[in-house]
Structure 1
Amino acid sequence: MRGKHIIVAVSAGIAAYKAIEVVSRLRKKGAEVKVVMTQNATHIASPLTFGEISGHPVALDMFEQVHQWDVEHIALATWADAYVVVPATANVIGKIYAGIADDMLTTTIMATTAPKYLCPAMNTEMYNNPITQRNLEGLRSLGYHIMDPAEGWLACGITGVGRLPEPEAIVDWLEAKMCSTNELEGTTILVTAGGTQESIDPVRYIGNRSSGKMGYAIAEQAA
């Protein structure tokens, strides 16, 4: 991650506060991070906090300084090595797939050619809605990388899928995606994991107590 330029785009999900730690963890890994927020996201998390954590002013209002707007949204788009939306709400996912560019987040993601990563977070029924699933599948077909949401307690008071994964898991996922190579793309890999036993005779065997953790990690990276 060291030396990479990453835009973290924050939309108005209740989990927006988790993006603060995502920015912090990315910087600790050596990435340079700039933050883009929607106006509604500022009601959940403060742009001041993101500015302090990232070390850069937050890009928020396209028309705050009109004479700089054309420069800013294109400059951000070309600066980025990666564009990460966290959390990605059903609303912003739908706008991106529909090609709507009406704020700083949707404008910059439309303009950038950098790899794009979405971390969906929303109510379970919204996530399972066929429209949301169609939008996610459509974005996958366009090359977007989409992290599966976690299951757990949601702000709406129910337990189910749609929870934003913890910042550590998000950063690990991003690092695995960004730092991987395509050398083995299309290759079928068989990974064995766990303890083994080799019989010597009907009574005795040679074995080991391997936990399988290494094999699981290799399989996860290869997936």
Structure 2
Amino acid sequence: MFENFEEEYSKLGYKKIVGIDEVGRGTLFGDVVTCAVIMPIDNRIEGIRDSKKLSEKKREKFYGIILEKALAVGIGRVDSKTIDSVNIKVATHLAMSKAINNLRDKNGNEVIPDILLIDAEKIESDIPQVSIIKGDDKCYSIACASIVAKVYRDRLCKKWALDYPNYGLEKHKGYATKLHREAIKLYGPSDMHRKSFLKNIGDW
């Protein structure tokens, strides 16, 4: 299923090969979250897929296994106010850069990547990078990053739902479902909604 990007670049001499993906790019509420991860090349986890193709239960299971097996992991977050001020593409790139800067091994030591494999994006970085269209489908380490980012953000949504109980965040995770749009019309947007994303819902 996955193409052998990691093996290819390993043969070219790259050792710290990082997969990067984002989640929450299209939501109306909260942070965009990215994950950067280095996975062992010779010991793949059976059953890994793009996070969108896995049930919540399977994502949760794989999340723990990925964190256990990963050689290094970093999370990057950019909040809704920043998204509104710079636009979502720039904010996503910022979050990816943060995830790279936050890469740590199991002992908490900073890890500097040799090469970045990124799902359909190209960011500002001095580190060599490869943009892979549908990378979460084609590249194992990007798929692992997609799962970690998704579970991490879903857990944030469950916490945010306690602070903002009117919007049903625990159900739709901030996406533009009918329930969410109706709640925004009824209660107005919160301070964590992306105002630049709400133009079709009301005049905020």
TM-score range, shorter chain: under 0.3
TM-score (normalised: structure 2): 0.27
Which structure has the larger Rg?
1
Larger relative contact order (Cα-Cα within 8 Å, sequence gap ≥ 6): 2
